[in-house]
Amino acid sequence: MRQKKCSVKLTMAAAILGVLAFDAQARTTLELGGGDLITEGFLRNETRWRIEGEEHMTQSINRFQLETAWKFEEKGIFDELSFVTILRPEYDVAHMNDNLTNHRVGKDARKPSYLGIDFNYGNDPIGYGGFDILFGAPEAGLLSTGGLYKNVMQGAWSESTLTEFEVIAHGSPFPIIAPLSTRNLNCKDCQDVDISHSEIAMANTDASGALYPIRELYTDAVIGDWWLRLGKQQIVWGKTDFFRLQDIINPIDFGQHFFFDQFEDIRIPQWAAALQYKGGSIGPLNDTALQLVWNFDEFRAAGLGNPSAAWAHPFGKEIGTFAAFNTYFSPEPCVSAATAEANGADSSAVCQEGDGRLPSGFGIPVGLAETHIPDHDLDNTEIGGRFEFRLFDFRFALSHYYGWTDLPVFRFDSVNVNAATVPGVTANDSLILGLTDGALVGLPEGSNIENPIAVMNPDEAIKAAAAAGYAPALDALEHDNARLFYDDLQVFGGLTSIIYDQVHTTGLSADYFDDWSGIVFRVESSYTFDEPVNNTYKANWADESDVVRYSLGLDRPTFLRWLNTDRTFFLSLQYFDTWYLDHEGSKTDGYIIDDHNRIYTFYWETFYNRDRVKPSGFFVWEDNSDTWVVGANITWFIDNHWSVKTGVHLIGRDKDPGLFDVGPFSSFTLDGNYAQQAVFGYAREGIGALKDNDEAFFQIQYQF
Rg from Cα positions in the chain:
28
User: Range of 580's domain?
Assistant: 554-703
Cα dihedral 347/351/355/357 (nearest 10): 120
Output the CA–CA distances (angstroms, integers) from residue 88 to 41, 70, 698, in the order listed. Answer: 9, 18, 20
Q: Is the pLDDT of residue 522 over 80?
A: yes
Q: Is the pLDDT of residue 7 over 90?
A: no
pLDDT in tens, 41-57: 999 999 999 998 778 89
The per-residue pLDDT for 583 is 98
For residue 23, give the 3-state DSSP assignment. helix
Sign of CA dihedral 83, 262, 319, 52: positive
The per-residue pLDDT for 100 is 52
Based on the domain organization, do 561 and 451 belong to the same domain? no
> Is 603 part of any domain?
yes
Give me the amino acid identity at 439. Answer: A
Give me the amino acid identity at 659. Answer: L
At which of 448, 472, 497 does a domain end? 497
Taking a C-beta distance cutoff of 8 angstroms, is the pair 358, 151 a contact?
yes
Paired with 409 in beta bridges are 499
Taking a C-beta distance cutoff of 8 angstroms, is the pair 685, 627 a contact?
yes
Domain count, the chain: 2
Output the CA–CA distances (angstroms, integers) from residue 628 to 549, 651, 655, 689, in the order listed. Answer: 20, 6, 11, 11
> Is 463 part of any domain?
no
The per-residue pLDDT for 541 is 98
The contacts of residue 509 (CB under 8 Å, 6+ apart) are 238, 239, 245, 246, 396, 397, 522, 523, 524, 525
Confidence of residue 2 (pLDDT cuts 50, 70, 90): very low
Say how far apart CA 336 and CA 426 lie, in whole Å.
32
The per-residue pLDDT for 110 is 61
pLDDT in tens, 611-662: 999 999 999 999 989 999 999 999 999 999 999 999 999 999 877 778 999 9
Q: Is the pLDDT of residue 129 over 70?
A: yes
Mean pLDDT of 468-479: 98
Considering the chain, what percentage of its residues have pLDDT values greater than 70? Answer: 94
Confidence of residue 140 (pLDDT cuts 50, 70, 90): low
The contacts of residue 643 (CB under 8 Å, 6+ apart) are 635, 636, 637, 700, 701, 703
> Is 112 part of any domain?
yes
> Is 17 part of any domain?
no
Looking only at the bridges linking them, the beta strands covering 491-499 and 367-371 are parallel
For residue 416, give the 3-state DSSP assignment. strand
Say how far apart CA 369 and CA 374 lie, in whole Å.
16
Q: Which of 25-29, 228-232, 605-609 has the lowest mean pLDDT?
A: 25-29
Q: Is the pLDDT of residue 13 over 80?
A: no
pLDDT in tens, 287-334: 999 999 999 999 999 999 999 999 999 999 999 999 999 999 999 999
Based on the domain organization, do 179 and 326 belong to the same domain? yes
Q: Which of 95-99, 126-130, 263-267 has the lowest mean pLDDT?
A: 95-99
Based on the domain organization, do 577 and 443 belong to the same domain? no
Which stretches within 544-604 are classed as H helix? none
Cα dihedral 667/668/670/674 (nearest 10): -50
pLDDT in tens, 185-239: 999 999 999 899 999 999 999 988 778 999 999 999 999 999 999 999 999 998 8
pLDDT in tens, 404-426: 999 999 999 999 999 999 999 99
Q: Is the pLDDT of residue 444 over 90?
A: no
> Is 450 part of any domain?
yes
Q: Is the pLDDT of residue 101 over 80?
A: no
> Is 481 part of any domain?
no
- Higher confidence at residue 448 or residue 692? 692
Say how far apart CA 494 and CA 330 lie, in whole Å.
10
> Is 57 part of any domain?
no
> Is 110 part of any domain?
yes
Confidence of residue 606 (pLDDT cuts 50, 70, 90): very high
19's enclosing H/E stretch is: helix 2-23
Q: Which of 58-72, 75-89, 102-116 has the lowest mean pLDDT?
A: 102-116
Output the CA–CA distances (angstroms, integers) from residue 439 to 232, 431, 446, 605, in the order listed. Answer: 66, 18, 7, 73
Paired with 429 in beta bridges are 453
Mean pLDDT of 676-684: 91
Say how far apart CA 364 and CA 325 lie, in whole Å.
10
pTM for the structure as a whole: 0.91
DSSP letters for 458-484: HHHHHHHHHHTT-HHHHHHHHTT-THH
Mean pLDDT of 485-510: 97
Taking a C-beta distance cutoff of 8 angstroms, is the pair 648, 696 a contact?
yes
Based on the domain organization, do 560 and 446 belong to the same domain? no
